[in-house]
Structure 1
Amino acid sequence: MDTITHTLFGLSLYAAVDKKRLTTNEKRALLLTTVVGSNIPDIDVISQWWDTAGRYQMWHRGITHSVFLVPIWAAVLSIVSWLLFRVKGWKWFAMGLLAVFIHNTSDLFNAWGTGYLEPFSSIRVTFGTIPIIDFMLWIIMLVGWLLVRYKRDLSSSRVFKWVWALMIVHLMSQSVQGYMIHQQYAKQYDEFALSAGFIPGQFQIIGKENDKVYISRTTVFTEPKLQVELTSDESVSLEQLFVENPEAKTLYEWSPFVVVVNDDKHIGIYDPRFYRNGESFLYEKMDK
């Protein structure tokens, strides 16, 4: 998910807690734990500062997003809460666990995926059932905020518990639909990937068969409609590309499959899951 969504998750966690009996410092510690915990796995973006090997694509959403690091991040947040606000206790650790777990797990559901099982597996786990920016989640949280803002008799914690319930229902609905589409169409191709659209229930299916890549739009209620057919030059050796452009090798390892470009000027590869308006923004190349 994007940074805005993760931050909204943190604020929604904070709002879902009954704070009537909390002191000022406890409220501050809770806010820090939920908001920072909802963003802290993305601290890996600083790896761009020293990345000279073209590995950022693998480092981002890598080890920092591992489910095995969730308790470590929660412990760090607990220590910071004690240092800043002199607040300690297992409930702060538990809130840290929940905030970081939600971040790492929610990132599994979009096409970008995460290194959820690192360091024991380098596989990028991705389901592709939620878009990178899910406006439906924003709408659900916005409605909750409006209810609390203008219906003063409503309990914030109760409203946002319902907000979380509705977001989970949305996530489950998207995932069930994505699973059904995957089961129906994946066997038709040598390689297959799924990418959720911005409209709930709408998906792109990306299938590769020999040197052809087909990108279609579909729902569980409609037949796939072909959007574009791409040709991948599978005969090209990519060794020189990987030597001249290390980021291309990283992209090749990171993507479930790629389209190979071989034209008069360039040799390159791109991830077809992010193909929009005639190009993919995940594209690495070299000049001939």
Structure 2
Amino acid sequence: MDTITHTLFGLTLYGTVDKKEMDKNHKRAYLVTAVGASLIPDIDVISRLWDTAGQYQMWHRGITHSIFVTPLWAALLFLICAVLFKTKDKRLFFLGWLAVVIHDTSDLFNAWGTGYLEPFSNDRITFGTIPIIDLVFWTIMGIAFVLSKKNKKKSPYYFKMAWILMSLHLIIQSIQGFLIYNQYDGKYDQVALSADFVPWTYSVIVKQDDTVTIFQDNLFQEEKERYVLVSDKGADLDYLFSRRPEAKTLYEWSPFVVVVDDGKRLGLYDPRFYREGQSFLYEYIER
């Protein structure tokens, strides 16, 4: 998910806490823990500062997003709050742990993929059933915030209901995505799924030999062929990788890529992020 969504997750998690009997320091500790733990796995973005080998694509959402690291992040937030706010509430650890688990697990459901099982597996696990920016999540959380302002006594109730509704949305989206994926699986060499911003609508990206086709599909209408892309099988990828290490990383990271060699540019891109004639996830060199 994007940074805004993870921040809203943290605020919504904080909203579920009954803070009636808490002093100011405890409230601050709970807020910092809920929001901080909801964001901390993305600290891996700073690896761009020292990435000279073109490995950022692998590092981002890698070990920092591992389910096995989640208690360490929670412990770190617990210690930070103990120092800053002089709190020793053990519930802060479990709140932080839950927040990190929500971050890492929610990232599994969009097309980018997550190193959820690192260091035991380098595979990027992705279900592709939820868009990176999910406006349904935003709407549900926004309504909870509005209702909580109008009735502060029932504030935790509204936020707990928001989590229930978001969980139902994720389940419904994922079941539909699974059913659609199965309609294509077995018919093509490779299949990938990417949820669109419109609920219950998906881009299905399939590859057969050197041809990649992108369909728009849902359970309530016929599939629509949106793009047909041809990968250049004769392109010199070794030359590309030697000049642009990031291209090799993208090639290994993506389920499959489209290779382009038009005489002016040599490169490749991930077709799961192909929109309006181009993919925002690409690497190339000028000829």
Matches within 5 A, 1:61-72: 61-72=61-72
Cα deviations across residues 149-169 of structure 1 (Å, max 9, x unaligned)?
22x265110110000000000
Offset at residue 90 of structure 1 (A): 2.3
Matches within 5 A, 1:1-288: 1-150=1-150, 152=151, 154-288=153-287
Aligned 8 A contact 1:211 1:233 in 2: yes
Q: How far apart, CA to CA, are the structure 1 residues paired with 2:237 and 2:152?
A: 64
Q: How far apart, CA to CA, are the structure 2 residues paired with 1:287 and 1:83?
A: 52
Offset at residue 178 of structure 1 (A): 0.6
Q: AA paired with 1:94?
A: F
Task: Give the match's secondary structure for 2:139.
Answer: helix
Q: How far apart, CA to CA, are the structure 1 residues paired with 2:70 and 2:239?
A: 39
Task: Give the match's secondary structure for 1:149.
Answer: helix
Q: AA paired with 1:281?
A: F
Cα deviations across residues 227-257 of structure 1 (Å, max 9, x unaligned)?
0100011232311100100000010011000
Q: How far apart, CA to CA, are the structure 2 residues paired with 1:159 and 1:2?
A: 23
Cα deviations across residues 64-85 of structure 1 (Å, max 9, x unaligned)?
0010100000000110010011
Q: How far apart, CA to CA, are the structure 2 residues paired with 1:154 and 1:220?
A: 41
Q: Which runs of 4+ in 1 moved over 4 A?
A: none
Which stretch of the first structure deviates more once superposed, 217-226 or 207-216?
A: 217-226
Unaligned runs of 5+ in 1: none
Sequence identity, in percent? Answer: 57
Q: How far apart, CA to CA, are the structure 2 residues paired with 1:31 and 1:78?
A: 12
Cα deviations across residues 98-119 of structure 1 (Å, max 9, x unaligned)?
0100001101111111111111
Q: How far apart, CA to CA, are the structure 1 residues paired with 2:231 and 2:48?
A: 30
Q: How far apart, CA to CA, are the structure 1 residues paired with 2:285 and 2:239?
A: 9
Q: How far apart, CA to CA, are the structure 1 residues paired with 2:217 and 2:153?
A: 40
Cα deviations across residues 168-197 of structure 1 (Å, max 9, x unaligned)?
000111110111111111211101100000
Aligned 8 A contact 1:133 1:198 in 2: yes
Q: AA paired with 2:18?
A: D
Aligned 8 A contact 1:116 1:124 in 2: yes
Q: How far apart, CA to CA, are the structure 2 residues paired with 1:39 and 1:97?
A: 12
Offset at residue 221 of structure 1 (A): 1.9
Unaligned runs of 5+ in 2: none
Count of paired positions: 287
Q: How far apart, CA to CA, are the structure 2 residues paired with 1:155 and 1:184?
A: 44
